[in-house]
Amino acid sequence: MVAIYGAGEAGIATKRVLTEHSQQHVNIVCFIEDDAKKLNKKVDGVKIISPKQFKRFVAKHPINELIIAAFNLSTERKNAMVDYCLDQNIKVLNVPPLEQWVDGSFSAKQLKNIKIEQLLERDSISINNKIINEQIRHKRILVTGAAGSIGSEIVRQLAKFGPEMIILCDQAETPLHLLQLELAATKNGAICIPFLADITNEARMAYLFEAFEPQYVYHAAAYKHVPMMEMSAAEAMRNNVLGTRLLADLSVANQVQRFVMISTDKAVNPTNVMGASKRMAEIYVQARSTETFHQTKFITTRFGNVLGSNGSVINLFTEQIQKGGPVTVTHPNITRYFMTIPEACQLVLEAGSMGNGGEIFVFDMGKPVMIADLAKKMIRLYGLTPGIDINITYTGLRPGEKLYEELLNNAENTTHTYNEKIMIAKLGSVNLSRVKKSFEELESLVQNSQNELDLVAKMKELVPEFISNNSVFEDLDKAKVVSI
């Protein structure tokens, strides 16, 4: 017994695929529709009912599956229907997007279980493609961290706007090779040059700028795993802070027009080395934007977790569920903001195009998600019961981890832009000479000190709001309070 959500073209096609081409006997009992004009009519002999009528129908008739065949269904409506079906032990499947149909049709094999990413994604956003196109077309663009989950998507989206060249800079050889093969297969017309390099290698990066003369830089290269950076503070500083400084300085020296840095919500009131390192990178980029002798526009974009990125909790939970559990959550009350990779990258391009220099753009991340609820929902989407088929275990906060993330700190205000999804954070002024001097001291510590306590103490001096949590560096905060 199957119900289909959507009585439009996709819904009708789904009904015919299942009844005419499926090897199993499938009984389509109803279509579900939000359009009042279609209610109580019939399509191919099947009645169209509303979501409310569907719930009354389920109370009297056993339904095994619901197939969502409505491409414009809001995320809120989709979540409500999926939650109801999961409570009723009704399996939820999804019709593939239209671009995956062949000659206007699809096969029953293409019906897939609905994924958690589809329930967390939000209504589609609109960006000003005209402005982005005018800026990007025929430009030479450098993307650092190009083989990563964010960097590679930025590359894919940039390629659509007809740049003269995209330089794909990354230190990960195999992912960079795979991205090159993918881009070659798409034949989008853009010249994509793989450039294997560590962004902290001054000679190698100077050669890149001299050889390719990029006009735009999208800086997505960063170490991002919080617990690992807590154990590798010097490397976090070398890559995230000094690497950003080098790229920013080279951009000024080589007359780059725009420098767009990808930051993170963990830079706000940081509780870990990774977040503090990204805040320091923000500070340096802001400081360089105050100079009047160059034309480079420095722009920062800040957002939270992205669905399906490398190291994402979604990927971890999927792997754990497929292995039979347990699913590990650090704390019952931990929350995170989520955004899809394409949406985040669209907003990066939009913010990068509208920036005048010196801004930190903050994205509307929607509502924070309880990670424990996310785990339970993912288990249920696999047709399993949390606590019975798959256990959830709480492992405790990891070093440097927060219960919740912020996109602004208390000292910041925001102003709106023409895009409701993008705001500008108003921060205090930055003293450029003081920042440069502090970064020189920091570089000396990175190169010469074997004691990471000294290094992190310097970070806390530069970022006073950096208060460690669940970390060996908490003693530095106690010492600071005593000295005050």
C-alpha to C-alpha distance for 260 and 280, rounded to whole angstroms? 15
Separation of alpha carbons 270 and 468, rounded Å = 7
Q: What is the pLDDT of residues 443-469, one digit of tens each?
A: 988 887 678 899 999 999 999 999 999
Question: What integer best gives the mean pLDDT of the chain?
Answer: 88
User: d(Cα 391, Cα 294) in Å, to the nearest integer?
Assistant: 57
Residue 481 has pLDDT above 80, yes or no: no
**Is the model's pLDDT at 114 over the cut of 90?**
no
User: What's the pLDDT tens digit per position in 68-91?
Assistant: 988 888 888 888 899 999 888 888
Distances 398 to 233, 401, 466 between C-alpha atoms, Å? 16, 5, 17
User: What are the pLDDT digits (tens) for 180-203?
Assistant: 999 998 877 789 999 999 999 999
Q: Residues 173, 148, 377, 121: is their CA dihedral positive or negative? A: negative
Q: Which two tokens stand for residue 217?
A: 């830089």
pLDDT score recorded for residue 484: 42
Spell out the domains of the chain, with CATH numbers in brackets: 2-114 (3.40.50.720), 129-426 (3.40.50.720)
Q: With CA atoms as reference, report the closest residue to 137 among 185, 179, 189.
A: 189
Q: Which amino acid is at 119?
A: L
- Closest-CA residue to 154 (of 375, 440, 349, 418): 349
The average pLDDT across 232-241 equals: 95
Contact predicate 192/183, CB 8 Å: yes
Mean pLDDT of 315-329: 93
- For the cut 60, the answer to whether the pLDDT of residue 402 exceeds it is yes
| Between residues 26 and 164, the one the model is more confident about | 164
Enzyme catalytic residues: 266
Interval 255-309: pLDDT, tens: 999 999 999 989 989 999 999 999 999 999 999 999 989 999 999 999 887 776 7
**Residue 268 is which amino acid?**
V
